[in-house]
Amino acid sequence: MRERFRALDPRLLWVILALMALGTLTLFSAGRNTPQAGIWLKQSLWNLLGMLLMLLLASMDPRRIFRYSFPAYLVGLVALAAVLVVGRKIGGSTRWFMIAGQTFQPSELMKWVTLLYVSQRLGSRNADTVDRLELLGAVGLVVFPMLLIQRQPDLGMALSFLPILLIIPLMKGLRARWVVALLLLIGVGGFGAWKFGLKPYQKQRVLIFLDPSADLRGKGYQVNQSRIAIGSGGLIGKGFTSGSQTQLNFLPVKTTDFAFSAWAEERGFLGVLLALGLFGLLLGRILDAALAAHTHAEAYFCAGAAGIFALHLLVNVGMVAGALPNKGMVLPFFSAGGSSTLSFFLALGLIMGILHRSRVK
Amino acid sequence: MDPRQRPLLHRRLGAFKVLAWGLVILLVLIYAWLQLVRHGEFQQLAMQQAVKVRPLPAPRGLVLDRNGYRLVDNRRALHLVIQREDLPTKLEVVTALAAALELDAEALARKIQSYRMAGKGRPLVLKENLDEAGIAIAERVRARFPFLSMEVAPRRVYLGDELAGHVLGYVGEVDEELMKAKPGVFRLGETIGKEGFEASGNEKLKGVDGQKRILVDQLGTEVANFGQVDATAGRSLFLTLDAGLQKVAQDALGQEAGAVVVLDLRDGGVLALYSSPSYDPNLFLNRLSQDMVDRYLANNVTRPMVDRAIQGIYAPGSTFKLLVALAGLEKGVITPQTPIYCSGRKNFYGRDFRCDKPTGHGSLSMVQAIAQSCDVYFYELASRLDIDDIYATAEKYGLTERTGIDLPQEKRSRIPSRAWKRKASPRDPKWYAGETISVGIGQGAVGVTPLGLARFYALLATRGKLLTPHLFYGFRSDQKSELEPAPVPLFKETGLDPQNWAILDEGLYEVVRGGTAAASALKEITMVGKTGTAQVATFVDKSHYARQAKKLKDHALFAGYAPREKPQIAFAVVVENAGFGASSAAPVAKKLVQYWFLDRLANPLPPPRGKLVDPFAPPAQAEAPE
């Protein structure tokens, strides 16, 4: 057992524990005096379970895990297909299995399984070159589950698969200029078409195609309240459990998508600085693992994981501040939720295993 | 190949690390912008939506009669309202709400819009004075529209129902025109007096609204109270009215249209002022209800909204003869003893003027002429006067002006003069001498309000005092019944010659003793007065008249005072389309005098109760005078 604990990377563990503490405090405050008063406790149980899974994975040989990536990927596809048929419909979309009274969202785990399998495939080929077939294969592996997820529909989740497609080929040797050129083309073309080419009703159709569940007017209200919460927090915040926006329910969905706003309101800019600094350290340590990895597959997995974490950070923290469109993407350690929490910890467990192996050998 | 030996991977991971920290810094900058640079602005927005100032409406003062009986009471009522910050914005929500409450969607949308535009103020009231069924409906609707709320607020109750509708008036929400006409005076949604004394006494009755600063959550529920300024209730007022006498007037007129005014000769206080048909002010309290409009405003046959006592202009008929007699005496064209012969008719300027008695009264003195109400005598007297002489006398004795009663929209009596004719009839501006003959018996162009007539007879009763009739008697000093009297409006001495007065007084005495109103004499009290019959239409003969429709019958009048020896009250009674004044109006006056001097002391009427049932009230208990 002591052997197993030794597999935990102290620097990563310290950051994780700190972020978990901030997240739990936020949920405690945000859930107060609402029907969700116990959500911090429930989330703590998920965190505990996640830590155990992380410990288990960290002490395993990563190569054994990579060996199961293909069957895991197949099982994941089946699960995504099954959820469309037998899944529970909540709020207009079918994303969840009901298991023992708990909702389970297979797409959360599938994201990491896809990353695992694509890393495994591309990592077992020649380094420093990416041939067309290989690239096309990777695109297919990522886009297929994305399409299944968009059927639910869940645009935010589908988009969170994109770092896999972007980062692993780049690490493998895809010329950076192509990626940059492609991104520029999409960016400028899309912006131009949006700004000058499309009529308002066409824009509406595009938006509805991308996200049928979006209530385009209602979400403006949510973000507006979130910005008021963040802005009114000021430098030092209104104090724990003392944020008027959070405590008086002006802040919407404050235990999931907008949990970070509650933190920002009550702990102010200093609290934001602390949380974002910890996320920076988390990303940095994950990238350290990529640098230290023994195999290409392990390195790709870590880099991709850093990409996924970074995307969640950017989209959620940016969105609640009104800087990005309102796309439901959870913030690790802050947003309450079982499936996402367990998935994040599983990924972190594998990363710790990779770090541990790099130290041992 | 070991990935740790791959320069490309190292370079790209290094770049990724820089990008990751760049992302963190970007987010830090965004939050610095919101939390440090724009902090003040968001702080204010957060305060604005969480801290609210809610008005605390002041209870309006009660209205009591001179004995302390309640005429207007406050009770609690439940209203269905929308708080200002919860006003719906979407048109489809407003439409659905209007449908659920059976309101006019367009009117509701307009109202919501005007409430949104105006800053602070009362909540928008959708349904008032909910009864049990109304509460059940409101709760059902509230389940669909959670922004609705229930509010307990004071409600006006007019205890006598129709007893004093015109005197009391009613309250309602201040309307848009009034707010535009007097900017800055009223707040949107404020309850103000709309008619009657509620309107004229609004300032005294309304009190001062309080307010509270509260912390609300997203649903508008009060979470904490930061402090409040309590409302100051409006002061309760005593009216000069006597509820019992008012009831006598109401019962005496019964189904007939008409008016009764009784004045207190000590100070000009109005003891009774009743206009028939009356209205029930309780029916006007439901703001959005159109029923009352249908029932009253559009009901133009009996015109119940007109306060006949102060707005009805009636030809005074023979009651005007005393003013003509006074004009003749003061002008010196006649002495009290000058005999005038009545043959039943007389020709002036080529036209035959008939007396009421076709066989003629014979030779009459002034006292006899008043007692017998001889028309020929007053035709002759009028022929010796100019219309402007009559006008000057009327002006001297206050008949040409408003009485100044503290009720809104009093009308002025119409006393003709040459100047008046020029203005009133530009096509035929000349005054014809023949018109003066008709004015001599109170017909033709002359018209008085019952209140104006009562005031003139009060002047005769007081030997020349021109009183200001008024309803405001005083304040109630506290919850006890103490009356804190208001100053009595000033009266004017008109300088009525005592000798002339004695003639008129005797004439009026003879009317009741053995003249036209002899049947209405009382044994215990010497009531004096003058009958009047005002023609509505002209007929060929009396048999023709008898067959005419009721609405073409003459108006009956009686005006006078009592008791003759030391007058205490003066009165005027008008009964529309009732025929001869002695048979319809004088008996009403007799009942008033009977009550005031005899029954009131021995057997007073109980205080007004009203028909309304208070849903909050404990089981009924006897109401004692305040």
Tens digits of per-residue pLDDT, B276-330? 889 888 888 765 455 556 666 666 677 888 899 999 999 999 999 999 999 999 9
pTM over 0.90: no
% residues pLDDT > 90 (chain A): 60
Lowest mean pLDDT: which of A245-254, B151-160, B468-477?
B151-160
Residues A279, B24: C-beta atoms closer than 8 Å:
yes
d(CA B588, CA B258): 11
* pLDDT tier, A334 (very low <50, low <70, confident <90, very high otherwise): very high
Catalytic option among B318, B373, B520, B584: B318
Average pLDDT value for chain A: 89
- What integer pLDDT is reported at residue B623 of this predicted model? 43
- How far A63 CA lies from chain B's nearest CA (Å)? 15
Residue A76, Cβ neighbours under 10 Å: how many? Answer: 22
Instruction: Decide if pLDDT at B621 tops 50.
Output: no
Q: Which residues of B touch A235 (CB under 8 A)?
A: 35-36, 39
Instruction: Decide if pLDDT at B624 tops 50.
Output: no
- How far A80 CA lies from chain B's nearest CA (Å)? 31
- What integer pLDDT is reported at residue B116 of this predicted model? 78
Comparing CA positions, the residue from A276, A285, A283, A291 lying closest to residue A8 is: A285
* pLDDT tier, A218 (very low <50, low <70, confident <90, very high otherwise): low
**B520 is known as an active-site residue:** no
Mutate to test the interface with B, among A19, A242, A244, A358 (most CBs of B within 10 A): A244
Q: Are A251 and A244 in contact (CB under 8 A)?
A: no
Say whether residue A173 is in contact with chain B using an 8 A CB cutoff: yes
Q: Which residue of B has its CA nearest to A289?
A: B13
| Predicted-assembly ipTM surpassing the 0.90 threshold | yes
Mutate to test the interface with A, among B11, B30, B34, B44 (most CBs of A within 10 A): B34
* pLDDT tier, B452 (very low <50, low <70, confident <90, very high otherwise): very high
Mutate to test the interface with A, among B2, B8, B13, B214 (most CBs of A within 10 A): B13
* 3-class DSSP string for B486-555: CCCCCCEECCCCHHHHHHHHHHHHHHHHCCCCHHHCCCCCCCEEEEEEECCCCCCCHHHHHCCCHHHCCE
Say whether residue A253 is in contact with chain B using an 8 A CB cutoff: no
Residues B45, A232: C-beta atoms closer than 8 Å:
yes
Mean pLDDT value across residues A20-29: 96
Residues A228, B42: C-beta atoms closer than 8 Å:
yes
- What integer pLDDT is reported at residue B622 of this predicted model? 40
CB-nearest partner of B30 from A280, A284, A318: A318
d(CA B447, CA A318): 83
- How far B35 CA lies from chain A's nearest CA (Å)? 4
Q: Which residue of A has its CA nearest to B217?
A: A248
Comparing CA positions, the residue from A321, A346, A351, A319 lying closest to residue A159 is: A319
Comparing CA positions, the residue from B618, B585, B300 lying closest to residue B454 is: B585
Q: Which residue of B has its CA nearest to A267?
A: B35
Q: Which residues of A touch B219 (CB under 8 A)?
A: 249
CB-nearest partner of A310 from B1, B20, B39: B20
Q: Which residues of B touch A226 (CB under 8 A)?
A: none
Lowest mean pLDDT: which of A100-114, A158-172, B75-89?
B75-89
- What integer pLDDT is reported at residue B549 of this predicted model? 62
d(CA A245, CA B46): 7
- What integer pLDDT is reported at residue B191 of this predicted model? 85
* pLDDT tier, A215 (very low <50, low <70, confident <90, very high otherwise): low
Residues A269, B16: C-beta atoms closer than 8 Å:
no
Mutate to test the interface with B, among A225, A228, A359 (most CBs of B within 10 A): A228
Three-state DSSP at B167 gives helix
- What integer pLDDT is reported at residue B476 of this predicted model? 82
- What integer pLDDT is reported at residue A128 of this predicted model? 75
Q: Which residues of B touch A293 (CB under 8 A)?
A: 3-4
Q: Which residues of B touch A163 (CB under 8 A)?
A: none
Residues B9, A284: C-beta atoms closer than 8 Å:
no
d(CA B295, CA B283): 10
Lowest mean pLDDT: which of A163-172, A215-224, B182-191?
A215-224
Instruction: Decide if pLDDT at B121 tops 70.
Output: no
Say whether residue A278 is in contact with chain B using an 8 A CB cutoff: no
Q: Which residues does B contribute to its contact with A (CB < 8 Å)?
A: 1-4, 6, 8-10, 12-13, 16-17, 20-21, 23-24, 27-28, 30-32, 34-36, 38-39, 41-43, 45-47, 49-50, 215-219, 223
CB-nearest partner of A314 from B23, B49, B223: B23
* pLDDT tier, B615 (very low <50, low <70, confident <90, very high otherwise): very low
Residues B13, A287: C-beta atoms closer than 8 Å:
yes
For the stretch B485-525, pLDDT in tens is 888 888 899 999 999 999 999 999 999 887 777 778 888 89
d(CA A60, CA A356): 10
For the stretch B190-206, pLDDT in tens is 888 989 999 999 988 98
Say whether residue A68 is in contact with chain B using an 8 A CB cutoff: no
Average pLDDT value for chain B: 86
Q: Which residues of B touch A290 (CB under 8 A)?
A: 13
Instruction: Decide if pLDDT at B538 tops 80.
Output: no
Mean pLDDT value across residues A320-335: 86
CB-nearest partner of B46 from A127, A244, A277: A244
Residues B34, A279: C-beta atoms closer than 8 Å:
no
- What integer pLDDT is reported at residue B299 of this predicted model? 62
Lowest mean pLDDT: which of A17-31, A262-276, B84-98, B436-450?
B84-98
CB-nearest partner of B38 from A231, A248, A291: A231
Three-state DSSP at B363 gives strand
- What integer pLDDT is reported at residue B618 of this predicted model? 42
Q: Which residues contact B347 (CB under 8 A, 6 or more apart)?
A: B353
- How far A110 CA lies from chain B's nearest CA (Å)? 24
Mean pLDDT value across residues B7-27: 94
CB-nearest partner of A264 from B8, B35, B223: B35
Instruction: Decide if pLDDT at B539 tops 50.
Output: no
* pLDDT tier, B548 (very low <50, low <70, confident <90, very high otherwise): low
Q: Which residues of B touch A299 (CB under 8 A)?
A: 3, 9, 13
- What integer pLDDT is reported at residue B114 of this predicted model? 81
